[in-house]
Each structure stands twice: as C-alpha cells, then as structure tokens.
C-alpha cells in the first residue's frame, strides 16, 4: 500500500520493506487461538519497562478514568503480551473483606551504603515480611567509586558527603511568590541518544532545602542509566551529592515524607531483577540498604505514597498476588500488603491499573486505591480504603476525586464523580482543539478554556489563514458548577496555595499576554501587594514532548520551575532570600 | 457475538493489516523469527478475546509491538552481546543496510518510524495505537526523523 516515501520524511528508506514478503500465518493463528496453552509463546518476557511506560501514560489515563464509565471513550486496547487472559466474573464484593488487609509493617534498612547502585548491589532487605523492622537507621559515609558512569555527566559527578547538620527552615505557604527565585540551580548534561541532553529531574522539599533528582538514559552499555541526587540548602550550598549508576531504570520521583523527613527514598527497577527502594539520609547522603519489593512495578508517586504492583512478568493476576501500599514516614517506610480486588484476579496484569488518590474524601484522612479496568471502558473495578477494604459500592467509589470531562467540540463540559455520574455539567461549553493549557481543577475552582468562535458548521476552525479561533477562560465553583468569572482570552493558570494562582494577563489590552499576576482564583482579581513577572521566560509549562523538561510544580512550600538546563526554586515572599546561583555538580 | 463473527472480524483485520504489521515488526526487531511469533500471537490473542475488543486493528498492532519489545529485551538480558544481535538476520543488500540503520536508532524512535513508514500509519491515526496525543506523536516523529537523518549522514 505504500508509495515510495518522501526521502525528507523517510531518510532511512524504509519503503524497502514493501518488497519483503510476509508469510501467511492464518492457519497458525487459528491453531494458537484454539489451543492457548499448547502454543505458549517462547518469549519469556520481562515486561517491567512496558509496565513502567504504561504507568507513565496512565498518569494521564487515570485522570480521565471515570469518564469512560459512561460508555464514552474506553476503546484503547490493553495488550496482554503473553497468551491467556480470560475475563473474570463481575466483582460483586461490597464492604470490607476481613482478609483484605494485612497489618502494616514498618521497614527500615539496617546497613551500608552503596555508591554505584547496580546489579551487584549487596543482598537486600525484602518486603513484605511480618517481622522486618529494626530500631535505628544507621548511616555510613558514602564511598565514591570511580566509574565511567559518573563521567557521563558534564560536569563530572562526584560524591559529596553531608556533615550531618540540617539547617533550620520553616517555610511559609505559597500564597504568593517572592520577587525572585531563592535558588537558581544549574543542571548537568549528558551525552545521550540525541547528543548533549538535559536530564529528567524532580524536586522535593526537604527540611532546610530541596532534594534534586536528575536521571539520564545513556545509549552505551553497560550503564543504561545514571542518576545524581543532591540536597541543595536554601543558601545555595550543596549539602550532599550522590552519583549513582545502574543498568536498570531509576524512578526519578523521590518518595519523601512530610516536611520532617529524615530520609528520601528513590525507586530503582533493574529488570529482570527485583524492584527496590533505596533510602538516603537527608543529613549526610549516606545510602541505606536497598529494600527489595520483589518483582513489582511502582505506580506514580503521590506525595509520600506509592503503590507497588505486579510487574507483568506474570500474565495474569493470581489470588496470592499482593499489592504493596508504601508510605514514606520521616525515618522509615510503612509497607502495607494488600490483596488484589476480586474483580481483577485471573485477569491479565496489563488490564488493571492501580492508582492512589491522596485527595479522596476519607474521614480522618488517608488514601484510597482504585483499580481501573482497562478492558471494560476503563471503569473503576473496585476501590480500597483502610476503612472499607476493597469494595465496589458506588458510594465508596464516589469518594475518589472527581474528574473534569472536557472533550474537544460540542459535547459540553462535565464534572463527573468516579462512577461516571455528572456532579454538574455545562452542556453548551465548546472546548478548543489545540495543545497547551486547557483546564485546571483545584479544591475549590474549576478553570477551563472555551472556544468562543465555535460554530456548528466549522467547529473551532481558524477564522482565516492567519487568524486563530478566539477563546475565553471560564471559572466554575467546583461544588456547584456556578460560573464564577470569565475573561475573553485564553489565560493559562498555575495553582498556588490558599485559593490563589498565577495567571497570565494583558497589561494594556493589546492582545498580548505579557505578565504573570497572582490572582484570587474565585474572582480572578489580582492580589494586592504581590509581585508580577514578565510572561517571557517565566513559569512556562511546555506541552507536546517538551513538557518533560520545561514545567512548573509545587511541592510542599516550594515552587519549582524547570527550564531544561536549570531549576529555579521560588518561595513565599516571607521566606524568600536573595537568589543564590549554584551548579548541581559544583 | 457469535464465534463465527469474531473470527470474521479478526480475519478482516488480518486481510487488511497482517502483511504491513509483519513487515513492521520485522523492521522494528530485525528478526523474522520475532516477527513471526509476535504477529501470530497478537492475532491469536485477539481471537481469544472475542468481542472484548472494540478496535481489533489497534489492539493487534499494539500487542504485536509489545510482544516484540518484550522478546528483544529478553534477548538482550540473556545475551552477553552488547549490541542488538537481532539485527544480524542474514538479509543482504539494500534491506541489510536499512536494517543496520534502524538498529542504530533507539527502540522508541525505531518503533515510531517503522509504524509510519512501514506500517503506513499517519501520525494522527497513531494516537489510538500508541495511546498518546497526536501532537506529541508529531513532535516525537519529527525528532526521530532528525535523528535518523543524522545517522544517514554519518553513514556517508
């Protein structure tokens, strides 16, 4: 079917494959389908990378999980990469099963650091174990081992040990930002698949500073990846730095307890080996023994929580399989072993997505876990909480965070609970078809961009060759859907704390969004006495592939601005200090 | 859905997509053996799932690549070879050269270029197969093409 490809678009000349004759496999396919167990694929895969990639994609998927409950868009395939996979009977469980939970185990590591965490890592502490617990967290000085992996960074990464002192800091909530960033941190580069590249980074607030995790995928063997961890104190000094190498995959999102954290935990997955969590003493940088969580994959980190699930090296979820609900406490991990919900047992591992909701409506706080069925229109198969265990009761499912459904075109706007039922709707809302900022959901307000020039005939088309469609920004009350305010242009919004946000504004009504202001999200009115910043070069959240490198994020009381080659750390005005410029490898 | 209907539904996808899919997996993996296995298994799983699948074609494509990725990873993890031995498949001439260039790409770039230029998918259509926004796929494709062009220039 291919015509010769345009060499500009197909420089490798892949149309050469048009002449390759494919075998006729229909009879073999029928035979395999009829005898699934007799024709097991001899591919003993380690599907961890696939699960990790799926988990990354699922960060988006889970946000719209509730949408498809109503029969909308759940048509994406869920590939089981090994044979088998029969549908289990519908889950009819309601209420807590006494066997649903297993007592929580506190886990701390016992010994020894390891610079250059690798497949040669020392024996690990495996969880779950009903008796794993020790009383202290011994630390030792990190040992630097010269390795080509550390040379992979530019500048070269060298370990720095902390002196054991943690500067005192009590940061104010981010109801606004200071005039200037408190830290301007230069990031290293590495020689990657695409020449000199910037690392993927994450930042977490820790007592007295910020933890920066930088991760790089290297093209050469045997070091498939390197990571650098550093705590940067708010005065710009490097408290400690660790240089790590592995042939596996580093989870670059650190698991850190609340502001009193003493240890930061980093996820390490080295397929086909076990997944691990390695703790780093936030005062010294000393590494603790890796904690082996078995052949599992990590879900997305949600604050101090993460869930570890079956990693796909098995085809289906079996009854003995267990999830691990992991929480970082200041000085140790809490690991809770949970069964899978009945509805998922016997189903392909890839058909179920497990996620944590830290904002669920739980009396007295806590988290909910949701099991999303990818094969059944991404419906919620069951939810778990400490109080209920696994349940399919709709009233419990509705405790999960609601979802904004904002399909492109004329379908309107819907704010849905997790069963897929509307909480409120705006039927005549017309969402634009483009990339970039389109919506924000906070605890109190929903902001969405509408296509103002939408017509039945042309949709949200450009008005002519050079004139894009017009847009407006509308804010709704989260509880009721009442329209709070609107403006006749598209205004990207970034949430801060205390009901405030950064919003782009047009200072002289010339159509140019040239300034960022702090506004009250319920009124869009600027907050008196707060600084403004030029739009050019400030607070960008890139889309379309660049979003890995250029983004903003709030963690605790720090506002992180990633610019690709550097990080800027902003604090509340009362906590801000004159900008300290520092090199992460300096 | 009746079994005959399921078979006919998958059969229609087989008729329209099998050859392109097999060539795509072959180009991606550099191995006829992997292509044989991944494509046959993906179609067989589709048959077993019956009317669970709403979009058989997208599911089969995605599954076949997932199976092939798993096999390539398994081969790498069990082989002492640093390189990708799959790309030593006995092909000669132009095809061998193309396979060698493909082997120099990252698996992500290779998959995307193969889907577009061997599989015949347009970037907008790939959103359903890769479960990614079309805009992101276009950006990834652009960058992969640039890297492929540099590889070709380095060869000259």
CA angle A47, A341, A49 (to 5 degrees): 15
Contacts of A222 (CB under 8 A, 6+ apart): A247, B82
Q: Is residue A5's pLDDT more than 80?
A: no
Structural domains in chain B, CATH included, are 2-154 (1.20.140.160)
The arithmetic mean of pLDDT across residues B146-152, rounded, is 81
Residue A67 pLDDT = 28
Give the A window 66-95 contacts with B, CB below 8 Å: 75-83, 85-87
A364 contacts: CB under 8 Å, gap ≥ 6 = none
pLDDT tier at A561, thresholds 50, 70, 90: very high
Q: How confident is the model over A531-539, as a mean pLDDT?
A: 89
Q: B90: phi > 0 → left, psi -120 to 50 → alpha, else beta; which? A: left
Residue A17 CB contacts under 8 Å (≥ 6 apart), including other chains = B23, B24, B26, B27, B95, B98, B118
| CA–CA gap between residue A277 and residue A290 (Å, rounded) | 6
pLDDT digits (tens, 9 = 90+) for B14-70: 999 999 999 999 999 999 999 999 999 999 988 887 776 777 888 899 889 888 888
pLDDT band at A221 (very low <50, low <70, confident <90, very high): low
Q: How far is CA B56 from the centre of its chain?
A: 16
3-state secondary structure of B106: coil
Rounded to a whole number of angstroms, the distance from the CA of B2 to the nearest CA of chain A is 15
Buried b vs exposed e over A39-52: b needs ≥16 C-beta within 10 Å?
A: bebebebbbbbbbb
Which residues on B lie below 8 Å from A44 (Cβ)?
A: 74
> Residue A241 — very low, low, confident or very high, per pLDDT cuts 50/70/90?
very high
**pLDDT above 70 (res A127):** no
pLDDT of amino acid A294: 82
Using an 8 Å Cβ cutoff, are A359 and A374 in contact? no
Which residue's structure tokens are 């240089």? A243
On the question of pLDDT at A129 being above 70, the answer is: no
* Interface list for B 30-59 with A (CB within 8 A): 36-45, 47-49, 52-55, 58-59
Task: Round the average pLDDT of chain A to a whole number and report it.
Answer: 77
- What band does A529 get if pLDDT is binned at 50, 70 and 90? very high
**In 3D, which of B106, B119, B31, B13 has the Cα closest to residue A77?**
B13
Q: Which of B19, B69, B151 sits opposite A22 (nearest CB)?
A: B19
Half-sphere exposure of A545 (CA within 13 A, CB side): 11
Point out the least confidently predicted range of A273-277, A443-447, A555-559, B127-131.
Answer: B127-131
Q: Are A69 and A419 in contact (CB under 8 A)?
A: yes
- Chain segment A332-376, per-residue pLDDT in tens: 889 999 999 998 998 888 888 899 999 998 877 789 999 998 877
**pLDDT 10s digits, A71-89:** 222 222 333 333 222 222 2
Q: Which of A324, A279, A320 is nearest to A297 (CA)?
A: A324
Structural Rg of chain A based on CA atoms: 25
Spatial separation of the C-alpha atoms in residues A447 and A323, rounded to whole Å: 35
Contact A110, A138 (CB under 8 A): yes
The answer, for B101 touching chain A at a CB cutoff of 8 Å, is yes
Chain A residue with minimum CA distance to B19: A22
Residue A225 pLDDT class (50, 70, 90 cuts): confident
The most confident of A521-525, B56-60, B84-88, by mean pLDDT: A521-525
Sign of CA dihedral B46, B47, B50, B56: positive
For an interface test with A, which of B34, B46, B56, B73 has the most A Cβ atoms less than 10 Å from its Cβ? B73
CB A300 within 8 A of CB A355: yes
A431: burial class by Cβ within 10 Å (0-12, 13-18, 19+)? buried
CA distance A377 to A387: 27
Q: What's the rounded Cα separation, in Å, for the pair B123 and A317?
A: 34
Would you state the pLDDT for residue B104? 86
Query: Which of A426-430, A516-520, B1-5 comes out lowest in average pLDDT?
Result: B1-5
More confident call, A120 vs A160: A160
What region, left, alpha or beta, does residue A21 occupy, with left being phi > 0 and alpha being psi -120 to 50 degrees? beta
What's the confidence (pLDDT) of residue A559? 97
Mean predicted confidence (pLDDT) in A415-429: 94
Note whether A277 and A290 are within 8 A (CB).
yes
């Amino acid at each position: 079917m291919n015509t010769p490809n345009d060499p500009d678009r197909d420089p490798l000349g892949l149309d050469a494959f048009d002449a390759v004759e494919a075998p006729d496999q229909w009879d073999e396919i029928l035979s395999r389908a009829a005898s699934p167990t007799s024709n097991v694929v001899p591919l003993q895969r380690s599907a961890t990378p696939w699960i990790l990639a799926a988990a990354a994609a699922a960060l988006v998927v889970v946000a719209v999980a509730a949408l498809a409950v109503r029969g909308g868009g759940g048509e994406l395939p869920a590939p089981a990469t090994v044979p088998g996979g029969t549908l289990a009977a519908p889950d009819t469980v309601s209420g807590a099963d006494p066997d649903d939970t297993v007592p929580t185990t506190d886990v701390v590591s016992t010994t020894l650091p390891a610079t250059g965490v690798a497949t040669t890592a020392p024996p690990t502490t495996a969880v779950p174990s009903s008796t794993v617990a020790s009383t202290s967290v011994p630390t030792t000085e990190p040992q630097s081992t010269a390795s080509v992996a550390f040379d992979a960074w530019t500048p070269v990464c060298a370990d720095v040990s902390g002196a054991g002192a943690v500067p005192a800091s009590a940061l104010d909530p981010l109801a606004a930002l200071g005039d200037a960033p408190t830290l301007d941190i230069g990031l290293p580069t590495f020689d990657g698949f695409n020449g000199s590249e910037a690392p993927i980074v994450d930042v977490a607030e820790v007592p007295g500073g910020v933890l920066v995790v930088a991760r790089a995928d290297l093209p050469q063997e045997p070091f498939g990846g390197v990571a650098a961890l550093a705590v940067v104190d708010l005065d710009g000094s490097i408290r400690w730095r660790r240089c790590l190498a592995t042939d596996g995959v580093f989870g670059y999102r650190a698991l850190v307890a609340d502001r009193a954290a003493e240890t930061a935990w980093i996820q390490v997955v080295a397929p086909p080996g076990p997944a691990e969590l390695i703790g780093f003493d936030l005062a010294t940088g000393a590494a603790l023994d890796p904690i082996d969580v078995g052949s599992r994959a990590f879900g997305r980190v949600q604050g101090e929580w993460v869930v570890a699930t079956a990693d796909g090296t098995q085809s289906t979820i079996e009854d003995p399989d267990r999830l691990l609900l992991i929480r970082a406490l200041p000085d140790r991990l809490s690991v809770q072993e949970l069964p899978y919900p009945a509805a998922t047992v016997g189903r392909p591992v890839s058909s179920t997505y497990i996620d944590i909701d830290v904002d669920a409506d739980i009396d007295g706080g806590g988290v909910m876990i949701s099991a999303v069925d990818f094969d059944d229109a991404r419906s919620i198969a069951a939810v778990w909480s400490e109080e209920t265990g696994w349940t399919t009761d709709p009233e419990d499912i509705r405790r999960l965070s609601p979802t904004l459904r904002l399909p492109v075109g004329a379908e309107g706007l819907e704010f849905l609970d997790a069963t897929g039922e509307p909480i409120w709707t705006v039927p005549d809302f017309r969402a634009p078809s483009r990339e970039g900022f389109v919506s924000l959901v906070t605890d109190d307000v929903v902001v969405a961009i509408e296509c103002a020039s939408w017509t039945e005939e042309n949709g949200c088309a450009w008005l002519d060759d050079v004139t894009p469609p017009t847009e407006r920004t509308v804010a709704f009350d989260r509880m009721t859907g009442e329209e709070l305010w609107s403006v006749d242009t598209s205004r990207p919004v970034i949430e801060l704390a205390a009901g405030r946000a950064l919003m782009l504004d047009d200072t002289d009504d010339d159509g140019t969004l040239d300034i960022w202001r702090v506004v009250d999200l319920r009124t869009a009115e600027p907050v008196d006495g707060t600084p403004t910043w030029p739009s050019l070069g400030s607070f960008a959240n890139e889309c379309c592939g660049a979003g890995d490198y250029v983004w903003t994020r709030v963690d605790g009381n720090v506002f992180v601005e990633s610019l690709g080659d550097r990080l800027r750390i902003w604090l509340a005005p009362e906590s801000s200090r004159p900008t300290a410029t520092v090199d992460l490898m300096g | 859905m009746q079994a005959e209907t399921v078979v006919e539904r998958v059969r229609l996808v087989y008729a329209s997509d099998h050859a392109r899919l097999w060539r795509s997996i072959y180009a991606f993996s550099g191995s006829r053996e992997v292509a044989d296995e991944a494509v046959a298994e993906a179609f067989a799983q589709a048959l077993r799932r019956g009317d669970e699948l709403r979009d058989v074609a997208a599911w089969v494509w995605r599954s076949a690549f997932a199976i092939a990725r798993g096999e390539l990873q398994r081969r790498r993890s069990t082989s002492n070879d640093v390189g990708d031995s799959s790309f030593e498949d006995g092909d000669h001439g132009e095809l061998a050269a193309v396979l060698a260039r493909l082997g120099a790409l990252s698996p992500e770039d290779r998959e995307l270029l193969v889907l577009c230029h061997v599989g015949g998918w347009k970037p907008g259509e790939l959103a359903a197969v890769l479960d990614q926004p079309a805009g992101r796929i276009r950006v990834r494709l652009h960058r992969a093409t640039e890297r492929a062009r540099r590889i070709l220039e380095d060869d000259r």
